[in-house]
Structure 1
Amino acid sequence: MDPHLLRTFVVVAERASFSAAARELGYTQSAVSQQIAALEDDLGVPLLHRRPVAPTEAGARLLEHAAALLLRLDAARADVRRAAREPGGVLRVGASALSAYRVGVALSVVRRARPGLELVLRVAGRDGVVAGVAGGDLDVGLVDGVAAPSDPLRLGDVAPLTTVAVAEQPCVVLLPAGHPLARRSGLRLDDLVDARWIDAPEVAAPLADLRAAVGSDGLRGSVRYEGADVRTLLALVAAGHGLAIVPSGAADGVPLAGPRLVFRTELVHGHLAGAAADLAGSVRIGA
């Protein structure tokens, strides 16, 4: 399967239009049609209905695999280039919102060792950091998430990436000051399944992870916050919009007594060399 044709198929399916895909990809509409026909000939099945443009059943199945296939190809290409690249003058680091503060001290160590180094720090969501490292846009990344103690984060299959544990912090539950449970010494998640929650995946435990931890879909989202500012999350909690679970170092809250969950921070990287290797060593030492 030609990845070039696969990328074209993904854009056509997402835009539901051959002409829109042609404009985005910089091709003629005829060229896009020819590429889709070539992919269909290769697989031996129709992938798109033409009027209106929509995936067939086989096309929908291919779309389920396409993102992972293309990301894996990008990851392999980036890792080969990293291995062959001479150490440069730019270090590009990605970090999820709650792990970004850990980069500061490590970057200071690297800068002292390499005074002419240009540093670029990108704060993004967990998936964005992992994809950036896999695709070569970032040299190294830090991500965090909720997990059982000593369990790795579920980051998907984007090999050949390496993940290394950096830190684990206890979880705390954020509640409004006047909440009847705010003075408890500890709270179990099982006792909070009927509460309203703020789903803030970039700065708190995602509701999907908490539901998996308790084996219940009873955790109801009241507000979804897609930003990366902890102060905004605290304001939403204080205003009574819902509860949230964050690492103990991010804010004051009631300790989570069960199930046993921690906020885990991991270093994500491919081939390490030069300043990226220096940073990785500094983050681990300073964890």
Structure 2
Amino acid sequence: MDPHLLRTYVTVARLASFSEAARELGYTQSAVSQHIAALEQDLKTALLTRRPVAPTAAGARLLEHARPLLLRLEAARAEVVRIAATPAQGLTLAVTATALDRRTAGALPHAGVTLTVLPRDEVPAAVASGAADLGLVDGLAAPSDPLNLPDVAPLTARGVAEEPVAVLLPEGHPLASRDGLRLGDLVDARWLDAPGAALPLDRLRTANGSAGFRPTLRYDGADLRTLATLAAAGHGLALLPLSAARAAAGTVAVPLTAPRVVHRTELLHAGALRGAAAELAARLDVTRS
């Protein structure tokens, strides 16, 4: 299959429009139609219905294969370009806002690192596409259990840190004097919806096995100080790694006692590790022990 045709197909399926895909890709609508027709002829089956534009059963199956394939092609290109452009040492690291603690940050080299903060679901794609050499992603998990990550491409994930989680409360909150809190007791509380800075509310619902956790304010940033300011002002609660919650000014961090979950951080990479990436992976393994 021609990857150019495959890329056009994925774009049309994602946007559900030939004209929108043509605009995004910089092609004419006629060229996009020709690409889809050529791919359907090659595979000898219809991939899209036209009104509305939607994948057929065969087209949906192709999408499952196409996205990882295109990511690996992008990764190959990015790695070759990076090696050619920067033969010296260098490391690009994609992280979530709460993936770095003092120990993992201390393992980073003191020079040649580019750090990019991304939403949790985008870190695996950045590593798979070659936009980042390594990823540090975090989330809620049972102790020693792996994270449930998007299946974007074959990636290696290794756990590098686990720590307790805590509920971030404003000072003076009725629950601020507690030694511990149960997640089930907070289902009807006011929560901050801050997926880029705190542990996402959908993960709280999954961990508690129930609905609830109603958001009262949406924060789309990744700055923990802003999150703490919102929590301190009474706009809602947030769940954070214990170390991050304790560092938030104007708030109180109360450990979560049930369910038994931890904040887990994993290192992601594609293929064999070399150079600075291998060095960092080795340091993080040492850090964990």
Measured against the shorter chain, the TM-score band is 0.7 to 0.9
Question: Equivalents in 2 of 1:82, 1:57: separation in Å?
Answer: 32
Asked if 1 retains the 8 angstrom alpha-carbon contact of 2:141 and 2:264, the reply is yes
Tell me the secondary structure at the aligned position of residue 234 of structure 1.
Answer: helix
Tell me the residue number matched to 1:283: 284
Asked if 1 retains the 8 angstrom alpha-carbon contact of 2:7 and 2:70, the reply is no
Tell me the secondary structure at the aligned position of residue 278 of structure 1.
Answer: helix
Tell me the residue number matched to 2:53: 55
Question: Equivalents in 1 of 2:69, 2:182: separation in Å?
Answer: 39
Identity of aligned residues (%): 53
Between 151-160 and 223-232, the greater mean CA deviation after superposition = 151-160
Question: Equivalents in 1 of 2:64, 2:45: separation in Å?
Answer: 21
Q: Which runs of 5+ in 2 are unaligned?
A: 247-252
2:199 counterpart of 1:205: yes
- Give the deviation of 1:9 after TM superposition: 2.3
Runs of 4+ aligned structure 1 residues displaced above 6 Å come to none
State TM-score, norm by structure 1: 0.84
Asked if 2 retains the 8 angstrom alpha-carbon contact of 1:140 and 1:267, the reply is yes
Asked if 1 retains the 8 angstrom alpha-carbon contact of 2:68 and 2:153, the reply is no
Tell me the residue number matched to 2:179: 185
Question: Equivalents in 1 of 2:132, 2:126: separation in Å?
Answer: 5
Q: How many residues end up aligned between the 2 structures?
A: 276
- Give the deviation of 1:281 after TM superposition: 1.1
- Give the deviation of 1:211 after TM superposition: 0.7
Label 1:197 to 1:81 Cα distance change in 2 as closer, same or farther (>3 A).
Answer: closer
Tell me the residue number matched to 1:272: 273
Question: Equivalents in 2 of 1:69, 1:169: separation in Å?
Answer: 37
- Give the deviation of 1:4 after TM superposition: 3.1
Tell me the secondary structure at the aligned position of residue 286 of structure 1.
Answer: helix
Asked if 2 retains the 8 angstrom alpha-carbon contact of 1:68 and 1:158, the reply is no
State TM-score, norm by structure 2: 0.84
Label 1:56 to 1:104 Cα distance change in 2 as closer, same or farther (>3 A).
Answer: closer
Among 64, 75, 81, the alignment partner of 1:78 is: 75
Question: Equivalents in 2 of 1:277, 1:132: separation in Å?
Answer: 18
Asked if 1 retains the 8 angstrom alpha-carbon contact of 2:160 and 2:285, the reply is yes
Q: Aligned AA for 1:244?
A: A
Between 179-188 and 195-204, the greater mean CA deviation after superposition = 195-204
Question: Equivalents in 2 of 1:81, 1:236: separation in Å?
Answer: 39
1:188-219 Cα distance to aligned partner (Å, 9 max, x none):
01111111211212221211111111111122
Label 1:243 to 1:68 Cα distance change in 2 as closer, same or farther (>3 A).
Answer: farther
Asked if 2 retains the 8 angstrom alpha-carbon contact of 1:75 and 1:158, the reply is no
Asked if 2 retains the 8 angstrom alpha-carbon contact of 1:72 and 1:158, the reply is no
Q: Aligned AA for 1:177?
A: E
Matches within 5 A, 1:114-125: 118-125=112-119
Question: Equivalents in 2 of 1:57, 1:276: separation in Å?
Answer: 39
Tell me the residue number matched to 2:21: 21
Question: Equivalents in 1 of 2:61, 2:138: separation in Å?
Answer: 26
Asked if 1 retains the 8 angstrom alpha-carbon contact of 2:123 and 2:136, the reply is yes
Tell me the residue number matched to 1:164: 158
- Give the deviation of 1:2 after TM superposition: 4.9
